[in-house]
Structure formats: structure tokens, C-alpha cells
Amino acid sequence: MLCLEIAWLTGTAFLARDPSDPAPDWPPQPDRIFSALVASWGLGGEDQGERAALEWLEAQEPPQLHLPEPHHDRQTVKVYVPPNDPKGIAVLPSHRKRQERTFPACVLDPAAPVHLSLVWHTVVPAEHWPALDALAQRTSYIGHSSSLVRVQFRAADAPPGTLEAARRAPYRGRLAELEALHKRHMAGDGRARPRPATRRGTPPAPPAKQHPFAADPAQWAAFEHAGGERPDLRAQAGLAEAMRQALMEAWTRASGEPAPSWVSGHEADGAPARDPHLAILPLANVGWDHSDGRLMGLALVPPAREAAAWAQPGPEGFLRRQGFRRALERLGESDAQGRLILTLAPRGGGAWQWRLTPAVSGLRSLDPVRYLRKAAVWATVTPVLLDRHLKSAEPPERSAEAEAMIRAACARGGLPDPVSVRLGKHPAVAGAPSARPAGGNPRWLNWARRPSFGQRAFVHVRLVFDEPIPGPILLGAGRFHGLGLFLPIRGGRE
């Protein structure tokens, strides 16, 4: 692809839309920039090779714009300047007239290497490169003549970042039109001024949504049962909270600093984190022919954004991942085999303690890959906690309202819209407990609730998509605590 990079050397771009408009024309549209290149062509002697390059450029699909640096509009004030070429006594300062003028401007970072990029998704013919380079070198300003710029064409393998569509782009024949208007203007026609182009570019396709959670099993930290009374899968929310608290304390012991928001789930001011954060998932004996639903361990799953930062080359990514590893090492004490032993007891419970160790046994129930395979049919191991209370009273309306919440949760999680959403009390995964117990059963058969869960409904979900999609899939308000965890299934089994 072809990329035109522009930097305003003084850090200020004077770009007027119209004499009556105080707002600057930012970002400058491709038609304005093309006109600046045409002016450079004219001042350079109207070289035929450069003309051919400009005619090739105007015939391309409209470029897209990338703005890598923030900006702000300078407050526009009125100034009064003398008119051009006064005659007679009007040249004297006491008789000089004043005309109202404004100079709309945009303030940029003067140290930034690039303030605006235009991107054409095309390959430049080899014969046009010398002409484009020469035009760029001679283009000294864009906008007002005081808006000095550095302009460079270059070939690029990928877009420089987020792109936006052009509102005014050159079109085939624009060079000839500007040339004819210039000749009329030089002949004395004061009305020979170009009209702004009206050709618009196609908006760029929205970027594919990313899974909120890491999809590489090597980035999951899995722990398995190592002793103590084994908790029930329905206690998952309390276990996840105990694990998160233990990890936050371990992070502080390891680094001397509070755990970051992607671990704690809260910003520095205590407000809930706006971005996805660490999920703590149950690893249970479910999905097999004779599964009994036993909780075999827990998995700590970082958000995809943090996992991507770990994978970046260089010291920053390495140090970020090492911070997580050091916190894991401080979670507990080492046993005789050198394995980390962690004891968890949910706050307010205290009836049992659960010892965990890093998963090394090779049990298939502890394998993160189970939750990452591609599949067209997915079903919940732990029920989804709906994002809000159901307003409808009648069963058909309640089901439709719950289904709408599930579809909205799929969209937020970067998933395609499912072709089928089936809701129910009972799971489609063997061994998984029901979303709610039958009447008369003991209270411990209910799923544990954190205070923030309120009394919103739990529901098991079965999703069918048009084509196989990869995991992990976590939906609903309790997804960071391991609720709404899906497993790929086929015919009711994994």
C-alpha cells in the first residue's frame, strides 16, 4: 500500500474551511493535499512524468486517513489587517483601512514525526515513484503558507493504525480541472476558484473484535487439587474471590506495589475496571460419559490485552509477564518436591480449606485446551449470571428478554450472533450442576453469590453458530469469577 506521511514543522496547522467558519479544517482532506501536490507540480515546471503520477493518483480509490497524534483547536480570535495593494493616500498608516480576518488553527505536537497519514490500498507502479518523491520534496506547506510541512511518500506493508474514511477526495480529471481554473484566474477571472471535491471514501471495515481473554493455553496458570476438603463447583464465585484476594496480596509481597487493575478488577480510585481483567475459572470433571462434576482445580486467565503485551518483543513485555510469575510464586509455600502449595479459604466461610498446586498431573479435566477448541456448538459448564434483572413476568417474555441479553453479551465478547440460543435450568454438559435446585433441596445446592450479584437469575445456555469458532467463551455478569463458562460440545458431549 501507499502511505503519504505529513508533519507540520511548527506544531501549528493553519487550515481554514471558509472565511465565515472559525473552526480549522482538521484533518485536512485528501483533496486539499492533492491540490498542494498540484501546486508543487506547477511551480516545478509542469514535468510530464509528474503529471502522469498525479493523474494516476487521482484515479485511485479515495485514501483513508490515520491520525496518530492528539490535537486541539486553537481559540480563534478576530484580527484586523490592511487590504492588499492600497493606492494613493490609503497607503499612509492614518488612512489605512482594516479588514476583519480570522486564522483558524490546529495545535499539534511539534516533536511528533507524523501528524497525518493518507493510505491508499494499492501498489505504486515503479515509473511513478521518482515523480511522487520529487513532488513530496517540493511541497513546503499545506493550508496557509505559514503551515510549513514535511511530506514523504513511502510503501507500507500494513496500515499505520486506525483509519477513517475521506470526506473530500480527488477524482479522475481533478488535475485538468485545477489546471483550467488556474489559467482562468491568471487571465483575470476573479471567480475562477476550485470548489471543494465531493467524492467520499468508503468507511473502513470495523476491526474484528478480539476475545476478551487469552486464547493461548500457555498463558493460562492452572492449579490442581492437592489436599483438604474439596469444595463444590457451585462455590466457584467464592473460590474465585478468595484466589483473587490471595493473588493481590502476593503481588504486593513480590513487588512492593498494589496489584494492577487487570488483576484486581478495580482502578486506582476503587472504581470497577473498564477493561476486561483476570478471569478465575473452574476446571471440573465435566463433559465425559461418567463425569461427576468434581472441582479439580482453578485456572487464572489473563485478559487478551495483557497477554498480547507479554508477547511483544523487548524488555517491557518480558518484565510485565515476570511480574505475574513472581506473584504466582509468592501465592504459597513450596513442598518437599518444590511445588507451590496454596491454601484457599473463602472469606465468611472458613468451614474448609483447599490446597492447590500447579497442575502437573496431566489430568484431562485440567487441560485448558478443552475450552479453546473450535466448535459450532457450545454449552455452559457454569450457568450464566444475567447482566440485569428480568422485567417480564410471563415465561415467554422472560425467555425472549433473557435471550436478548445473551445475544448482546455475545456481541460484547467478540462473538458472531448465534443462530440458536437455548436457555434452561439444566445443563447440556454431563456432570455440570443445574442452574438452580429443585424445591425443597438444601440451600447449599444454590450457586454461591457475591453481594454484587444481587438476585439476578442464573441460566444454563446452549449456543449454536454458523461455523466453528474458537474459545474461550465466558458470558454474563459473573464471567470474571468463572460463571458463564462454556465448553464445546457435540451431541451433549465434548
Q: What share of the chain is helix, strand, coil (3-state, %, to 5)?
A: 30, 25, 45
**113: exposed, middle or buried (Cβ count in 10 Å: 0-12, 13-18, 19+):** exposed
Q: Return the closest-CA partner of residue 28 out of 41, 19, 17, 18.
A: 17
Bridge partners of 291? none
The three cell numbers of residue 1 are 500500500
Instruction: Express each pLDDT in 229-277 by its tens digit.
Output: 788 899 898 888 988 998 999 999 998 989 999 998 888 777 787 788 9
* 491 pLDDT higher than 50: no
Q: How many CB atoms lie within 10 A of CB 374?
A: 10
Q: Are 30 and 166 in contact, with CB atoms under 8 Å apart?
A: yes
The C-alpha atoms of residue 377 and residue 489 are separated, in whole angstroms, by 6
Fill in the DSSP letter of residue 267: -
Describe the crossing of helices 236-255 and 315-329 by its angle, rounded to 10 degrees: 120
The C-alpha atoms of residue 28 and residue 32 are separated, in whole angstroms, by 6
SS3 of residue 302 by DSSP: coil
The three cell numbers of residue 68 are 496518530
- The pLDDT value recorded for residue 101 is 67
The C-alpha atoms of residue 258 and residue 293 are separated, in whole angstroms, by 36
Q: Return the closest-CA partner of residue 482 out of 436, 418, 412, 432.
A: 432
Q: Which range has the worst mean pLDDT, 15-29, 49-63, 287-301?
A: 15-29
- Residue-range domain boundaries for the chain: 2-186, 217-488
The three cell numbers of residue 367 are 487441560
- Higher-confidence residue of 126 and 193: namely 126
* 156 pLDDT higher than 70: yes
Q: Taking all residues of the chain, what is their mean pLDDT, rounded to a whole number?
A: 85
User: What is this structure's pTM?
Assistant: 0.59
> Which percentage of the chain shows pLDDT scores above 90?
39
Q: Are 355 and 230 in contact, with CB atoms under 8 Å apart?
A: no
- The pLDDT value recorded for residue 493 is 42
* 163 pLDDT higher than 60: yes
The C-alpha atoms of residue 21 and residue 16 are separated, in whole angstroms, by 7
Q: Which range has the worst mean pLDDT, 11-25, 100-114, 261-275, 335-349?
A: 335-349
- The pLDDT value recorded for residue 494 is 43
Distances (CA, A) of 135 to 46, 73, 172, 226, 255: 11, 29, 19, 71, 55
Rounded average pLDDT over 59-83: 73
- The pLDDT value recorded for residue 347 is 58
Instruction: Express each pLDDT in 211-221 by its tens digit.
Output: 788 888 889 98
Instruction: Express each pLDDT in 6-25 by its tens digit.
Output: 999 998 888 887 766 677 88
